[in-house]
Amino acid sequence: MATSKLPIQLNLFQSSQKLNLSETYEGIPKDISKNDPRIKWINDNIAESVERPFNIGGNSYISEISPANFKSKKTKQFQSHFPDVREARIEYAIISLAAKHVMDIDTDNEDNKIFLLKTTYYRIQKEIVTAIARQSNREVKVENCPYNVSEIKEALEVLKKTNISVTDTNKKSVYHFTRIKDVYMEESKVVIELGNMITNYITSGDWRVTNSSSILASSGKYEIKLRVLLNTKFTYASKGRSYSPSLSFLVERIGFIENKEKRITLQKMVKVLNGLEEIDRVDIDKKYDGRKIVDAIIHIYPTDEFISEMIENNKLRKRVDQYVLDN
């Protein structure tokens, strides 16, 4: 594929053309926990942008996350808001809804395509509580959604106003984006203009392969990121297959707050992994410098149930794709 024909967001990753847009998008750090020690506060309310290094296809990049700055409805003060697990879950709820329903396609003044999801706050809540109910095997009412309408509105504003700039390590190439471009009301519907990278994620069909319920039901920031990573790596699953990332990679990928001692960081990471129902077992190959652990290779073996679900989801995607082609 010629570089000139690549989507703009892949021009930066042109040495990693084998990656699809979904995997590229998931590889870019976009969230920052409010307790992250990397945040530098200019004053009590305003924070500087945060740079997070990451790796895609063996190449190094930097994601600069500039927080959304707006007046908080709770404190009535102008302050910085970084996207966290709440924003991640609501973004995945939007992706899930858009993947199930046809997006509206419009054009702007320059005839560029605009992809719109017309929904309601209730349906966003319903998408999350349905996932929670399915995972917990119990009834969960919409009023028990972990996020009320005000919180969803604020999360959408954070997703809209948080600017993410991705550069190579030389900072010569840059790609700027926001996760959603706009949010507004149209009669009783909330209209969400989707970002280019999310749109490609949805249209690729990759979300239909994921165990979306477990992702949407995840309440922990590490759990949701690990589940997305596992779904990405086991998209084309087979019995007996494992995934073997390094501890350093996982720390970078999920924004894990490290302990000063790698030994303790490893213990905490393994504890989180073992808490995921998708994982059958975890084997560790520790890397030493003398007697000190400096890294580890973590061999992750998924459960047969997870593999079976991924295989079935792939079959479903193929049937849907074939139906679209036939019609």
In tens, the pLDDT along 110-154 reads: 667 788 999 999 999 999 999 999 999 999 999 999 999 999 999
Assess whether 110 and 64 both reside in one domain: yes
Measured at the CA of 41, the angle between CA 86 and CA 53, to 5 degrees, comes to 65
Band of pLDDT at residue 21, cut at 50, 70 and 90: low
What is the arithmetic mean of pLDDT over 249-262?
92
Which residue range(s) make up the domain with 90? 3-233
Assess whether 108 and 243 both reside in one domain: no
Assess whether 245 and 222 both reside in one domain: no
Assess whether 86 and 225 both reside in one domain: yes
Assess whether 189 and 92 both reside in one domain: yes
Least-confidence region, from 57-61, 122-126, 236-240, 245-249: 236-240
Assess whether 224 and 320 both reside in one domain: no
| pLDDT-above-90 percentage for the chain | 60
Measured at the CA of 173, the angle between CA 171 and CA 174, to 5 degrees, comes to 90
Assess whether 213 and 238 both reside in one domain: no
Separation between Cα atoms, residue 278 and residue 285, nearest integer Å = 21
Band of pLDDT at residue 237, cut at 50, 70 and 90: low
Assess whether 256 and 126 both reside in one domain: no
Assess whether 11 and 64 both reside in one domain: yes
Q: How many domains does the chain have?
A: 2
Assess whether 208 and 266 both reside in one domain: no
Is residue 2 over pLDDT 60? no
Assess whether 257 and 228 both reside in one domain: no
What is the arithmetic mean of pLDDT over 217-227?
94
For residue 28, what are its two tokens?
């870019």
pTM greater than 0.85 (yes/no): yes
Assess whether 186 and 207 both reside in one domain: yes
Which of 178, 206, 233 is at the close of a domain?
A: 233
Is residue 18 over pLDDT 90? no
3-state SS, 111-171, equals CCEEEEEEECHHHHHHHHHHHHHHHHCCCCCHHHCCCCHHHHHHHHHHHHHCEEEEEECCC
Mean pLDDT of the residues in the chain: 86
